[in-house]
Amino acid sequence: MIEFSQRMQTFHLTNGQISYLLKIEDHQYLSHLYFGPAVKDYSGHFSYPRQARSFSPSPAAYPRHDFSLDTVMLEYPAGNDDFRVPAITLRHPDGSRVSDFRYDSYQITKGKPDLAGLPHTYVTDDNDCETLCLTLKDALSGLRLHLFYTIFAQQDVISRHVVLHNDGANTCTIEKIASLNLDFPNQPMDLIHLPGGWAKERMVVREPVTTGIKLLDSKRGASSSQQNPAVILTAKETTETLGDAYGLTLVYSGNHEITVEKDQYDQTRATIGINSFGFDWQLAPGASFTAPEALLAYSDQGLNGLSRQFHQVINQHLIPQRYQKMDRPILVNNWEGTYFDFNDEKILAIAKEAQALGIEMFVLDDGWFGHRDSDNSSLGDWFEYPGKLKNGLVALAQEIKALGLQFGLWFEPEMISEDSELFRAHPDWRLQVPGRQPASGRQQFVLDFSRQEVRDEIFRQMTAVLDQLPIDYIKWDMNRNMTDVFSAVLPANQQGEVAHRYILGLYELIDRLTKRYPTILFESCSGGGARFDCGLLYYMPQTWTSDDTDAGERMKIQYGTSLIYPQSTMGAHVSAVPNHQVGRNTSLLTRGNVAMGGLLGYELDLTQLSTEEKSEIKEQVAFYKEHRQLLQYGDFYRLVSPFDDNLVAWQFISRDQKESIVFFAQQYAQPNPPLRVLKLQGLNPDLTYQINDQEIAGDELMQIGFYLPIDLHGDFDSRLVVLKAK
Ligand code: GLA
């Protein structure tokens, strides 16, 4: 899959679907040639026009007289005489920031190396991918840079990461180290990104790439709901179904930085990596630094095609192997049902209703530990005081298990309340700058997870609970942004390392816990969906998508999330009306239909429901179970975007194309509404499908489509339609 041409001095990575080409130029600089649909036999004709140098005042250090780094597409730029956004910035002991990395050697291997302490894609069969490692050297400093590229055989995805070694005699400071740089030739492009906020995560924004630099980032200590660590670049004409789409995402859960720059020649450069803001890292002689993995995907079948590449690589090469294709349980969570106001009876009453409705798991959310009756205390005290649960947590869990339900529990391990035993014992364990009052968020503070002893104590407390419990699931929450980023145990010149060391510490603790409890299903959460990223998905195969459980809002949130992340990663719950976040009433039908677009769950007090509502939920649960593999793991196609239209539609298709489920809804009711035709996708044109009481050929459904029923009534009315091949 990876070839080096001695004659052309080029590397060609291809899986037959995509090609990635780069070249060793004169003076051993690495230029980027191409990324896109596969080219079979690259001839070498495409190369940097050297005459460009004579038209341009861009400098070129001797002896690069016919070659300016400022004009050529580069593989991993280091700045200096390339004035565009650099991928790497180093401060050398003499204070200079000039580095000059030149190509040294390469290695091609089957399979894929692990990334020490960082989440990453993996293969179980080395034939599923091939890896190119390019070694570059900066002669003066003795720094050695490894650029890794892994191309997957079955997915049109290349994973990349970077390792910097210090073979020199002096400590150097890393100020920026991106995981990926990608230069595009002059062509009009659009940028699609996923900004948002609490309860409105991953809204879809599409805009033209214009001259200058667009910075998309998070400085919040988490991948954030404000800006998901992923972008898509497309041709102007690209739609959901057609056209070039290039996707970049970071396998990381902390501060990230994405830049998109259009340069003086209208070439576009994209970089993605750890945020350089507030970051620097001391690289001592003999030490190495690994920058997180980034994933690069391509499709010529528009955004849906690109999403399928990401969905497949996440489902098959990122989430823990054990959960691949595994039926995810339908759960009930008590948070919106009770908040902190619960006791054993209330919980058991909800669990009994859940069991009668066919729900499979009960999740006890916030409030079971310490003196936690509101959000102002007890984080850091992961043990019970007698009282709230009369017979204690273990007895409650056993009773729930005896009903035939699985049992799950909420933790927020990274946090500390001032009103806690832990804080009284260790007031210096939170992130804070000595002498300054740290900012409080939701009346809580962030533990310094860069410190081993802090993580060890949380591990000790959590395992003391978990070792006694019959437990199947953990919801791992993280409810505030990181501020006052300072660690009591690091010297002044290493304080720029804290945010990244925190994330490394977080991964280390999660790794320890998931290895110790391999059968516990973990779901990550962060004040809703503020840490929906490929980093946590490596350990925890599902994520709570948003604290906004309103079905109308969720159509947009789940639609945006699906651009990168598969539906098998998205927690989605039916909650009560009027909705607690926006006060809107939507039908139980629509709440169920929308939640089935992700991992179906319920989050309301089931004991308060009418008999009719209970029987409707029973039907939803039975329907979901019947179609669970299709809904959770089928190919997902977005059909109509709620960001562009009053209508929203999406579709699930089984791999063998024999079964499909279509979801559609109107957002706002309209008088005298337009007659709408919906065209399906991904069906087999040669098969005939049973749809309602009709039999219709796949090609007709895709090319001609069908009129949507005119009986959609009221705001956010929706339908699910099942198609089965004859
Ligand atoms: C966060 C989560 C919610 C719930 C609460 C509990 O907001 O997103 O689902 O767990 O915390 O405090």
At 697 the pLDDT is 98
Mapping DSSP onto H, E and C, the string for 281-340 reads EEECCCCEEEEEEEEEEEECEHHHHHHHHHHHHHHHHCCCHHHCCCCCCCEEECHHHHCC
Distance in angstroms (rounded) separating the CA atoms of residues 228 and 242:
24
Q: Which of 442, 525, 573 to mutate to test the pocket of ligand 1 (most atoms within 8 A of CB)?
A: 525
At 620 the pLDDT is 98
Note the pTM of the prediction, 2 decimals.
0.98
Residue 696, both tokens: 């219709």
Residue located nearest, by CA, to atom 7 of ligand 1:
527
At 156 the pLDDT is 98
- Residue 479 alpha carbon to ligand 1 centre in Å: 7
- Residue 336 alpha carbon to ligand 1 centre in Å: 9
Residue 427 DSSP one-character state: G
Report the pocket of ligand 1 as residue ranges, CB < 6 Å: 335, 365-366, 410, 477, 479, 525, 527-528, 544, 547
Mean pLDDT per block of 10 residues along the chain (726 residues) reads: 97 98 94 97 84 70 77 95 96 97 98 95 98 98 98 98 98 98 97 98 98 98 98 98 98 98 96 98 98 98 98 98 98 98 97 98 98 97 94 98 98 98 98 98 97 98 98 98 98 98 98 98 98 98 98 98 98 98 98 98 98 98 98 98 98 98 97 94 98 96 94 95 97
Give the orientation angle of helix 611-626 with respect to helix 344-357, to 10 degrees.
60
Please report which helix (H) or strand (E) contains residue 638, including its range.
Answer: strand 635-640
> 384: closest CA among 397, 395, 371?
371
- Residue 546 alpha carbon to ligand 1 centre in Å: 10
Tell me if residue 42 falls in helix, strand or coil. coil
- Residue 421 alpha carbon to ligand 1 centre in Å: 22
Q: Which of 477, 544, 549, 581 to mutate to test the pocket of ligand 1 (most atoms within 8 A of CB)?
A: 477
Residue located nearest, by CA, to atom 12 of ligand 1:
366
Residue located nearest, by CA, to atom 1 of ligand 1:
527
CA 208 to chain centre: 24
Distance in angstroms (rounded) separating the CA atoms of residues 447 and 432:
9
Q: Are 524 and 531 in contact (CB under 8 A)?
A: yes
Ligand 1: nearest atom to the Cα of 375: 12
Residue 439 DSSP one-character state: P
Residue count (the chain): 726
At 474 the pLDDT is 98
At 46 the pLDDT is 83
At 51 the pLDDT is 66
Peptide bond before residue 195 is cis, with ω within 30 degrees of 0: no
Q: Are 560 and 202 in contact (CB under 8 A)?
A: yes
At 158 the pLDDT is 98
**Phi/psi at 157 (nearest 5 deg)?**
-135, 140
CA dihedral defined by 686, 690, 695, 700, rounded to 10 degrees?
Answer: -50
Residue 469, both tokens: 């419990």
Residue 452, both tokens: 């081993």
Q: Which of 368, 377, 410, 411 to mutate to test the pocket of ligand 1 (most atoms within 8 A of CB)?
A: 410
Distance in angstroms (rounded) separating the CA atoms of residues 533 and 179:
15
- Residue 477 alpha carbon to ligand 1 centre in Å: 7
Distance in angstroms (rounded) separating the CA atoms of residues 219 and 194:
16
Q: Are strands 256-262 and 415-416 parallel, antiparallel or unpaired?
A: unpaired
> 669: closest CA among 627, 636, 620, 714?
714
Residue 475 DSSP one-character state: E
Distance in angstroms (rounded) separating the CA atoms of residues 58 and 522:
53
- Residue 481 alpha carbon to ligand 1 centre in Å: 14
Residue located nearest, by CA, to atom 11 of ligand 1:
527
At 710 the pLDDT is 85
Residue 224, both tokens: 């954030």
Q: What is the set of active-site residues?
A: 477, 547
Q: Which residues pair with 677 in a beta bridge?
A: 707
- Residue 450 alpha carbon to ligand 1 centre in Å: 24
At 52 the pLDDT is 64
Residue located nearest, by CA, to atom 2 of ligand 1:
527
Residue located nearest, by CA, to atom 6 of ligand 1:
366
Mapping DSSP onto H, E and C, the string for 175-197 reads EEEEEEEEEECCCCEEEEEEECC
At 701 the pLDDT is 98
- Residue 348 alpha carbon to ligand 1 centre in Å: 21
Q: Which of 479, 536, 546, 603 to mutate to test the pocket of ligand 1 (most atoms within 8 A of CB)?
A: 479
At 55 the pLDDT is 65
- Residue 662 alpha carbon to ligand 1 centre in Å: 31
